[in-house]
Amino acid sequence: MGFHGDEPAVTPRKDSKSRCQSTGGSRRHLFQTEVCAALAPTEAEQHERQELSAVYVPRLAAVAGQLANSATYHPRSLEKITVEVDLGGLPSNRLEIPELTAFWGTFAWADNPWIPDSNKPVLSRAKYDRIAVASIASLEIVRTHRTTYTVRVPTAPGCQAGHTIAKRERWLIAILLHSPRIDVGEQLGRAPQLQLRKPPRLTQSYVWSVEADSIVVAVPNAGKSTITLQQQVNGLNWKVVSQRNAKKDATKL
C-alpha cells in the first residue's frame, strides 16, 4: 500500500467550499463536497472530542515517550515506526453512522474536526508541517499487539527531515484516540480481510476480495487460478459461479 498521492483525502467540514478543494475531475469534486457536508461533526461532537484530547493525549504521550528508544530521533519518510498506546479502558468512540466508519480511511489527518489535538480543535498542518497531508488509510496504521501500533509517516514535500519520534507519537495518539477501534492485525481505514466461515481444507491459500455486489473472488497467494462465488438470496449461502485452474478446490466450496 504505502503513501500514494492519488489516495482521496477529504476533510469532513460543513464549509465544504473552502475546505474541500478538489485536485481531480468534477466527479471527485462532487464526491468530496458531499462527503464533507454529510459527515462533518456537530459542534457538540467536536466539543466532546476536544475535552477527550485535553485529558488523554498528554497522558498517553507521556507513557509512549518513556518507552521510546530515542525521542529525538528523526525517522526517514515512510520509515515504519512503532508506538505503544494502551487505549483499554478509555471512552470508546461513538461513530454511530456506518458511512462515517466506511469513509474514515479517506479522511485527511490534517485540519480534521473529528481529530482534535490536546490544545487545538484539530491536528493542524501548521503545527505538523513536516508531515505530508494524506488520507488516514495511506498512513498504514496497523495494530500489531494489544498496545502496539505501527505507522509510516510521509515527510512533507520540501522538508529535508521529518518530525522527531516524540512529536510523531503525539500526532499518532490523537489520531488513534478519535478513530474507530481496530483489532490486532487490522489496518486503520481499511476493511478487514475477507474470510470464509468454517472453510473446508483447500489445496491452496486464497485471498478473498469483493468484486461486485454479492460477488467475491478468491486468488491464491501463488499461482494464476481464481474462484468466483455469488451470494444466494438467503444472504447466508454462497455458490461457485466460475473457476479457473481451481476445479479441485471449487468442488469443496
For the cut 60, the answer to whether the pLDDT of residue 20 exceeds it is no
On whether both 135 and 233 belong to a single domain, the answer is: no
pLDDT of residue 70: 76
> Is residue 193 included in any domain, yes or no?
no
> Is residue 10 included in any domain, yes or no?
no
Task: Give the residue with greater pLDDT, 11 vs 78.
Answer: 78
Residue 239, C-alpha cell as written in the block: 455458490
pTM of the entire predicted model: 0.73
On whether both 155 and 230 belong to a single domain, the answer is: no
Share of the chain above pLDDT 90, in %: 52
For the cut 50, the answer to whether the pLDDT of residue 137 exceeds it is yes
> Is residue 133 included in any domain, yes or no?
yes
On whether both 103 and 136 belong to a single domain, the answer is: yes
On whether both 243 and 182 belong to a single domain, the answer is: no
CB atoms within 10 A of CB 190: 17
| Residue that has been written with the C-alpha cell 475546505 in this structure | 19
Per-residue burial over 56-75, b if 16 or more Cβ lie within 10 Å, else e, is: bbeebbeebeeebeeeeebb
> Is residue 82 included in any domain, yes or no?
yes
- The CA distance from 246 to 250, in Å, is 6
pLDDT of residue 29: 61
On whether both 130 and 236 belong to a single domain, the answer is: no
> Is residue 16 included in any domain, yes or no?
no
Q: What is the pLDDT of residues 139-195, one digit of tens each?
A: 999 999 999 999 999 999 999 889 999 999 999 999 999 999 998 888 999 877 777
Task: Give the residue with greater pLDDT, 21 vs 113.
Answer: 113
Task: Give the residue with greater pLDDT, 201 vs 68.
Answer: 201
Domain assignment of residue 247, given as a range: 206-251
On whether both 143 and 89 belong to a single domain, the answer is: yes
> Is residue 119 included in any domain, yes or no?
yes
On whether both 183 and 215 belong to a single domain, the answer is: no
181: CB partners within 8 A, 6+ apart: 87, 92, 93
CA-based nearest residue to 163, from 127, 195, 138 = 127
Helix, strand and coil percent figures for the chain, each rounded to 5? 30, 20, 55
Question: Are the C-beta atoms of residues 228 and 215 closer than 8 Å to each other?
Answer: yes
Burial degree of 189 (CB within 10 A; 0-12, 13-18, 19+): buried
For the cut 50, the answer to whether the pLDDT of residue 18 exceeds it is no
- The CA distance from 226 to 205, in Å, is 11
Q: How many residues does the chain have?
A: 253
* Top-confidence range, 91-100, 154-163, 199-208, 219-228: 154-163
Number of domains composing the chain: 2
On whether both 59 and 149 belong to a single domain, the answer is: yes
What are the helix and strand counts (H, E) for the chain?
Answer: 6, 7
On whether both 115 and 234 belong to a single domain, the answer is: no
3-state secondary structure (DSSP) of residue 97:
coil
On whether both 52 and 164 belong to a single domain, the answer is: yes
| 165-178 helix and 43-67 helix, angle to the nearest 10 degrees | 140
On whether both 173 and 219 belong to a single domain, the answer is: no
pLDDT of residue 60: 96
> Is residue 200 included in any domain, yes or no?
no
Domain boundary among 141, 158, 187: 187
